[in-house]
Structure 1
Amino acid sequence: MYLSVHAKAANAYRNMGAVTQVDGASPGQLMMLLFQNLHIQLLRAHKALSDNNIAVKGLALGKAVRILDEGLKAALIKNSEDGFAQSLSDLYGYCAKRLTQANFYNDPLPIEEVLRLMDPIADAWKKVVAEQAQSLRPMEVE
């Protein structure tokens, strides 16, 4: 596929921005980036389904499942005594399964379900990262 010089430059700029964002991110910020990208892919897949664009839907859902499995699930600390980590792992696995079903049956309902399940977790990460940033700020001296 041929890309114009402008398109190549734009892609390089976007990739550089993503790399810079990741390189300078804390672990909490990386989690937020994963959740943001997951949300974007889910919205993209939902829109593609309503537009009957099956190819875009499949790509977006494939990326979303990879974010769940290779990003969020892989980031969990594997501790057999940590019930919370196991519950999150199970939830991420369930969401990946639902997205696979959405892809197979061209059904938007599982995508909407995953959005409802993941958005509160993403919001919790935003609060954690904001609190960490607040605690790292130097104290003002009067």
Structure 2
Amino acid sequence: MNALNRSALRAYSNVKTNAVAEYADSHELVCMLFEGVLDNLCKAAHGFENGDISIRGEAITKAQHILFGLRSTLDHDQGGEIARLLDSLYDYCIRQLTQAHAHNESEHVQEVKILIGQINEAWSEMPKEKVSPKS
């Protein structure tokens, strides 16, 4: 795929994501964020496999930014212990991704992928009416 096609595909993907996000409720938005983390972790793993430091670094950075965003939405007053545990988990994942990139250790990416995959699965199965906007 040439650079022009990649650019067009990226632009289409951004428009599609923005359109979906505009009409999504908070539960769906969190699901989209988890999917974004997982997608970027797959890209990072691919970067490790192919020795592509640029793709690896970009994907890890994007995953970390999404995790920072998820941390910022936690409502510690309403969420109590669950919010505190999620905050610790997101912080741990961010640190593991930093470790992975800094020391070329792909196993940290796999660990974060498993952890976020489990949280994503649990979140997806949660009834929407049980989820507050600030989870």
Do Structure 1 and Structure 2 share a fold, with TM-score over 0.5? yes
TM-score band w.r.t. shorter chain: 0.7 to 0.9
Select 2:128's aligned residue among 125, 129, 132.
Answer: 132
More helix, by proportion: 2
Tell me if 1:35 matches 2:34.
Answer: yes
Give the aligned partner of residue 117 of structure 1. 115
Structure 2 vs 1, CA of residues 12 and 64 (structure 1 numbering), >3 Å: closer, same or farther? Answer: closer
Structure index of larger Rg: 1
The one-letter code of the counterpart of 2:37 is L
- Name structure 1 gaps, 5 residues minimum: 134-142
The one-letter code of the counterpart of 1:78 is H
The one-letter code of the counterpart of 2:19 is T
Distance in 2, Cα, partners of 1:7 & 1:45: 18
Aligned pairs, number: 127
Structure 2 vs 1, CA of residues 56 and 10 (structure 1 numbering), >3 Å: closer, same or farther? Answer: closer
Deviations 1:74-126 (A, max 9, x none): 11113298111011101100110000000000111111111111111100111
Distance in 1, Cα, partners of 2:29 & 2:78: 24
The one-letter code of the counterpart of 1:94 is Y
Structure 1 ranges of 4+ moved more than 6 A: none
Select 1:73's aligned residue among 63, 71, 74.
Answer: 71
The one-letter code of the counterpart of 1:33 is M
The one-letter code of the counterpart of 1:132 is K
Give the aligned partner of residue 52 of structure 1. 51
Q: Secondary structure at the match of 2:24?
A: coil
- Name structure 2 gaps, 5 residues minimum: 130-135
Could you state the TM-score of these two structures normalised by the residue count of structure 1?
A: 0.81
Distance in 1, Cα, partners of 2:120 & 2:107: 20
Higher relative contact order (CA 8 A, sep 6+): 2
Superposed displacement of residue 41, structure 1: 0.4
Tell me if 1:24 matches 2:23.
Answer: yes
RMSD, aligned CA = 2.0
Structure 2 vs 1, CA of residues 7 and 87 (structure 1 numbering), >3 Å: closer, same or farther? Answer: closer
